[in-house]
Amino acid sequence: MPKAYWIAAYRAIKDTNKLADYAKLAAPAILAAGGKFLARGEPAKVYELGMKQRTVLIEFDSVAQAMAAHDSPAYQAALVALGDGADREIRIVEGIG
């Protein structure tokens, strides 16, 4: 079964306090669900229509595991803490192989 990758691309951070509150809850929830953080922060370089905003890359053993992490009560509590503190997009992508 191929790995899965959760990619969060931020368009705007509106409230750094809400983002910090989210991070305190989200990281433990994702780790507990089997996620492994591979990269997070601002990109070193962007091309084409890319935005130089925070990006997070998390590896999971499967798409189902990544989706379960997102839908877990612990992660949903993190989303409540984030509220309107950021505009972002989350994609879950199946790995090759």
Indicate yes or no: pTM above 0.75.
yes
CA atoms within 13 A on the CB side of 39: 11
Contact indicator for 10, 85 with CB cutoff of 8 Å = no
Largest CA distance in the chain: 39
Is the pLDDT at 14 greater than 90, yes or no? yes
The DSSP code sequence of 71-90 is HSHHHHHHHHHHTTSEEEEE
| pLDDT of 1 | 83
Q: Which domains does the chain possess?
A: 4-94 (3.30.70.100)
pLDDT tens for 27-68 read 999 999 999 999 999 999 999 988 899 999 999 999 999 999
From the list 8, 13, 14, 12, the residue with the least C-alpha distance to 38 is 8
